[in-house]
Structure 1
Amino acid sequence: MLILFLNAFFSPYFRAAAQSKLSNYNEAIKDCERAIAIDPKYSKAYGRMGLALTSMNKYQEAITSYQKALVLDPENDSYKSNMKIAEQKLRDLSSPTGTGLSFDMASLINNPAFISMAASLMQNPQVQQLMSGMMSNAIGGPAAGVGGLTDLSSLIHA
């Protein structure tokens, strides 16, 4: 019986870290909230919540979590560093040149739907011709024609 009590008591502390590692950020946040309800002075719960929120692009909320973690553990370099990252990402989003979009090439390359789409696109003779023309222009060959972008646009909208 004591083991069940201890497991129920301590599980949100450890489960939040595991959920984040598994990219289950909503569940990680819930476990962090449970851990904070049990022990409001447990700085790791705030730090882990900050990581999960940052991963979900909720930078302002992440910053708030890191600030709370730093109140409890002001010398923790990890919290300081992670808060700076969230602050920078928030600035990037709100900058006049920022698009609000982040481009993650690794996620794109590892996305099976993207790979499938790219493979089928590369089988299209029109795309092959367009790419050949672009490569020819890039190395100083004859121009593929003025309508190159128009041709690409028609392929995309086809």
Structure 2
Amino acid sequence: MSSIKRLVYAVIQFLREQSQRDDYTSDEQESLEVAVQCLETVFKIGPEDAHLATSKSLEEVFSQAHPMSNELSPVESPSISPADTEKAEKLKDEGNIFMKELNYEAALDCYTQAIELDPNNAVYYCNRAAAYSQLGNHSTAIKDCEKAISIDGTYSKAYGRMGRAFAGMNKYKEAISSYQKALDLDHENESYKSYLKIAEQKLKQVPSPTSAGWGFDMASLMNNPAFVSMAASLMQDPQIQHMMSGMMSNAAGGPAAGVGGLTDLSSLIQAGQQFAQQIQQQNPELIQQLRNHVRSRSFSGSAEEHS
């Protein structure tokens, strides 16, 4: 039992060190602290058990606690026939063509089939991550990038695409970390340098006053044809028209009011925020769609070459 407690103590120390890392978010740090508390409670380990500390690495402590673990045979990768390898490459090439044609669903299908034939090819996961990002599924894109990196830890493009996926989720701190790792592996890549600079600027930016605390910029939406079309359709709704009329009345000024009763730009912004907040209350699904739409366009950049 002492060897197990020593192992648990080492795990606790490791988690506690990880929870203090600057590149982790507050939520991640909190989760690690909760894990530490659970382990301490279950195994009844506290500050008075400092005698369990060791200078050995966590792997060494684990090996001593479970000596049989070193005797396990490594899991062998399934053999892939030359025919399957060739077919997977063709599917990858087809997927790349679909990506250039902006047919992301078809590209996604090709990359998935290639992965099924050859699940140990980092390029296929990385390319599929690009397709997922273009479809707005950034979280799944990140998982594919992580899989690609687990296969090939020196694959800079996987780190770069993971950075773009994080940026698409407005997680600029994580995006910066990913871009930096990509640059560490590919020092002269101008795209990574550019994206890193943009992410650093985004991290420093103060939220737009027109965002009303929602997490997206209304001005950028007004330049989006899809949003303008949706807004025009929305304004045909009698309930929305009535709500808009009431909003305008509330924002109206006195005799000196300008066109439509709005006295100045700040009144217009306030009226727009009020309208948007009421839309959010009545149709939160619409607001979430808008968020996803904006995120899917973040860092889309120009068409990139695929491996």
Q: Same fold (TM over 0.5)?
A: yes
Give the partner amino acid of 1:124. Answer: H
Structure 1 residue 102 corresponds to structure 2 residue 219:
no
Q: In structure 1, how many angstroms separate the alpha carbons of the residues matched to 2:247 and 2:173?
A: 47
Partner of 1:28: 141
Counterpart among 112, 120, 125 of residue 9 in structure 1:
120
Counterpart among 258, 262, 266 of residue 138 in structure 1:
258
Q: In structure 2, how many angstroms separate the alpha carbons of the residues matched to 1:115 and 1:70?
A: 44
Q: Deviations over 1:57-110 (max 9, x none)?
A: 10000000000000000111110111111101100148xxx9683314139826
SS of the aligned residue for 2:205 comes to helix
Partner of 1:63: 176
Deviating more after overlay: 99-108 vs 83-92: 99-108
Give the partner amino acid of 2:196. Answer: M
Structure 1 residue 43 corresponds to structure 2 residue 161:
no
Sort the Cα spacing of 1:129 and 1:35 in 2 relative to 1 into closer, same or farther, 3 A. Answer: closer
Partner of 1:76: 189
Q: In structure 2, how many angstroms separate the alpha carbons of the residues matched to 1:68 and 1:144?
A: 51
Sort the Cα spacing of 1:69 and 1:129 in 2 relative to 1 into closer, same or farther, 3 A. Answer: closer
Q: Deviations over 1:31-67 (max 9, x none)?
A: 0000000000000000000000000010000000000
1:20 positional shift? 1.1
1:23 positional shift? 1.1
1:24 positional shift? 0.9
Q: In structure 1, how many angstroms separate the alpha carbons of the residues matched to 2:246 and 2:156?
A: 55
After superposition, the CA RMSD in angstroms is 3.9
Same amino acid, percent of matched pairs: 42
Q: Aligned pair count?
A: 142
**For structure 2, which runs of at least 5 residues remain unmatched after alignment?**
1-79, 86-115, 282-307
**For structure 1, which runs of at least 5 residues remain unmatched after alignment?**
none
Contact 1:93 1:100 in 2 (8 A): no
Give the partner amino acid of 1:41. Answer: T
Q: In structure 2, how many angstroms separate the alpha carbons of the residues matched to 1:38 and 1:82?
A: 24
Sort the Cα spacing of 1:118 and 1:108 in 2 relative to 1 into closer, same or farther, 3 A. Answer: farther
Q: TM-score of the superposition, structure 1-length normalised?
A: 0.69
SS of the aligned residue for 2:204 comes to helix
Give the partner amino acid of 1:56. Answer: M
Q: TM-score of the superposition, structure 2-length normalised?
A: 0.38
Q: In structure 2, how many angstroms separate the alpha carbons of the residues matched to 1:60 and 1:82?
A: 12
Structure 1 residue 87 corresponds to structure 2 residue 204:
no
**Greater C-alpha Rg:** 2
Sort the Cα spacing of 1:83 and 1:108 in 2 relative to 1 into closer, same or farther, 3 A. Answer: same
Q: In structure 1, how many angstroms separate the alpha carbons of the residues matched to 2:198 and 2:185?
A: 20
SS of the aligned residue for 2:154 comes to coil
Contact 1:43 1:68 in 2 (8 A): yes
Counterpart among 236, 241, 244 of residue 119 in structure 1:
236
Q: In structure 2, how many angstroms separate the alpha carbons of the residues matched to 1:130 and 1:101?
A: 24
Q: In structure 2, how many angstroms separate the alpha carbons of the residues matched to 1:15 and 1:38?
A: 15
